[in-house]
Structure 1
Amino acid sequence: MEATAADGAVAVVRETSVVSETVVVEPAPRRWTRRIGVFDLETTGIDVTEDRIVTAYVGLLDERGAVIHDEHWLADPGIEIPEGATAVHGITTEQARAEGRPAAEVVAEVTHALRTLLSAGIPVVAYNAAYDFSLLKFEGERHGIATIDSPAPVIDPLVIDKTCDRYRKGKRTLDVVAAHYSVPLESAHEASADAIAAGRVALAIAERFADTLPEDVQELHTRQIGWAREQAESLTEYFIRIGRLEPTEVLDGSWPVRS
């Protein structure tokens, strides 16, 4: 006989003629949340085809959101870092030139670190993944490095949050969404802080919407492709309606790498 406790555990009651024994069996953890990679870039701007990596972070979190491995990079992007970008992440052109490593080396190592995680079937969390993975791809092409053209499995808390809590009002920037899910975010726009917070947001979303999201990470990855496309179509319609886009313009909904 089974009874379900309030916390989701299952109490299995074994009855005999002499005694009844109750064994509490905890629910199995969601498979894709046991280990997650996290990834973030800070860059010279927002154009994925032209802008360059300044700092990068790739880490590995356990199911509680604790960091169990991480790698940091500071690159010399080879171009001037605009003042606006420096105001966001704090790295100046002078600092990047003096302390940063050659961009080609950084791009190659970041790509390798991500490829290692993905090849092992470990999902990589990236907030607004299409930006980071697309910029990394174009950086790889720029430096003659084999790119990750179809990264999978990828978890994008931005895409999932917009789907699972579609009608919540307010901005969906990482700091706002992190606060909504009670995830601390210190030093926002610092690659490691943003990546770790995004990973913890993904874990919080997985817990809150456990009845909605698939446990299989490949299925979740595939669903996000459709969700991202639908979100881009909806935003395109809105921007056309308010005059921010021409009727012939379309936002790119490709995910997790922009076409």
Structure 2
Amino acid sequence: MFKLNLKNPLVVFDLETTGTNISQDRIVEMAMVKVMPDGSVEEKCRKINPTIPIPHETSLIHGIYDEDVKDEPTFAQVAKSLAKYLEGCDLAGFNVLGFDVPMLVEEFLRANVDFDTEQRKIVDAQKIFHLMEKRNLSAALKFYTGKELENAHSALADTQATYEVLLGQIEKYEGQDAFDTLGKKLATIENDMNVLHDLTTSSRVDFAGRMIYKDGKEVFNFGKHRGKSVTEVLQKEPSFYDWMMKGDFPLDTKRKLTKIKLRRFNQ
């Protein structure tokens, strides 16, 4: 099997949750495939009591009901041991930047457990897939491995599939250039977590994507200030910071916004 070139352990993971609202919803299951630099692999999967009801329509998707998690530990109870397990590891997943990493960070913040993402490489296999082939996880698995995805929306099945997709992507595209929708070269695909991290994460300031980098500067990516410099908006309209801090934004977004504000005042 094709082997990833790793300097650090890589944890490919997938979350099943009560919904898709990062601020309000909670994790109900987490599956991980931990790949060591020597190529050895271990798998972990556990259910988590979200402490809130799982909507029936969500249970119909992933097959996890309130009864299945009522006796499981809460995220706060497993947060420290999970952070220890992920210590020193880079992260990967399918749409991991759009959902799984922001949700995981939010859960750690709620549990008051320090989980640093800035020192980790994060690789989103979905972004590579969309950049190179433009298509969901089932299609990706079929395309790269010829396999059919069984038990879709089972966290472990999705995680195993994502790992195989990532292997297939690097094997197929290594040495090829990736371009954005405007034809601008972004990077040359390499079997290197630094390159893949930069390719899939470089434009985001916060995981929810409320702020992005544009020409090297942080700009807002939503609402009336979309495309405007964050520092300039905070300077001209200080109340916008207060509005965001009181609003229904992820804790990670508020943390990054505060960091930008403090940096501006310390200049």
Relative to 1, partners in 2 of residues 1:178 and 1:248: Cα closer, same or farther, differing over 3 Å?
farther
1:37 to 3, 7, 11: 11
Residue 85 (structure 2) aligns with: 113
Relative to 1, partners in 2 of residues 1:126 and 1:33: Cα closer, same or farther, differing over 3 Å?
farther
Relative to 1, partners in 2 of residues 1:216 and 1:95: Cα closer, same or farther, differing over 3 Å?
closer
1:155 is aligned to 2:127: no
1:43-79 CA distances to partner (integer Å, 9 max, x unpaired)?
A: 000111221010001222479xx97312221111100
Relative to 1, partners in 2 of residues 1:136 and 1:34: Cα closer, same or farther, differing over 3 Å?
closer
Residue 177 (structure 1) aligns with: 140
1:202-251 CA distances to partner (integer Å, 9 max, x unpaired)?
A: 0101111112212332122112224779xx89xxxxxxxxxxxx984869
Residue 236 (structure 1) aligns with: none
Task: Work out the CA distance in 2 between the residues paired with 1:227 and 1:57.
Answer: 27
Q: How much does 1:186 deviate? A: 1.8
1:126 is aligned to 2:93: yes
Task: Work out the CA distance in 2 between the residues paired with 1:40 and 1:193.
Answer: 9
Q: Is the 8 A contact 1:73 1:106 kept in 2?
A: no
Q: Which amino acid aligns with 1:75?
A: I
**Contiguous gaps of at least 5 residues in structure 1:** 1-27, 119-123, 167-171, 234-245, 252-256
Q: How much does 1:111 deviate? A: 2.9
Residue 43 (structure 2) aligns with: 70
Relative to 1, partners in 2 of residues 1:107 and 1:184: Cα closer, same or farther, differing over 3 Å?
farther
Residue 91 (structure 1) aligns with: 64
Q: How much does 1:29 deviate? A: 6.1
1:165 to 110, 130, 133: 133
Residue 20 (structure 1) aligns with: none
1:216 is aligned to 2:187: no
Q: Which amino acid aligns with 1:177?
A: A
State the secondary structure of the residue aligned to 2:163. Answer: helix
Q: Which amino acid aligns with 2:190?
A: P
Relative to 1, partners in 2 of residues 1:85 and 1:107: Cα closer, same or farther, differing over 3 Å?
farther
Task: Work out the CA distance in 1 between the residues paired with 2:78 and 2:118.
Answer: 20
**Contiguous gaps of at least 5 residues in structure 2:** 177-188, 211-221, 228-250, 254-267
Relative to 1, partners in 2 of residues 1:39 and 1:151: Cα closer, same or farther, differing over 3 Å?
farther
Q: Is the 8 A contact 1:163 1:227 kept in 2?
A: no
Relative to 1, partners in 2 of residues 1:134 and 1:30: Cα closer, same or farther, differing over 3 Å?
closer
Residue 225 (structure 1) aligns with: 201
Relative to 1, partners in 2 of residues 1:78 and 1:199: Cα closer, same or farther, differing over 3 Å?
same
Q: Which amino acid aligns with 2:159?
A: A
Q: How much does 1:85 deviate? A: 1.4
Task: Work out the CA distance in 2 between the residues paired with 1:184 and 1:154.
Answer: 26
Q: How much does 1:187 deviate? A: 1.1
Task: Work out the CA distance in 2 between the residues paired with 1:101 and 1:44.
Answer: 15
Residue 59 (structure 1) aligns with: 33
Q: Is the 8 A contact 1:125 1:156 kept in 2?
A: yes
Task: Work out the CA distance in 2 between the residues paired with 1:29 and 1:87.
Answer: 36
Q: Which amino acid aligns with 1:80?
A: P
Task: Work out the CA distance in 2 between the residues paired with 1:140 and 1:34.
Answer: 22
State the secondary structure of the residue aligned to 1:81. Answer: coil
Q: Which amino acid aligns with 2:138?
A: D
Residue 109 (structure 2) aligns with: 141
Relative to 1, partners in 2 of residues 1:62 and 1:108: Cα closer, same or farther, differing over 3 Å?
closer
Percent sequence identity is 23
Higher radius of gyration, 1 or 2: 1
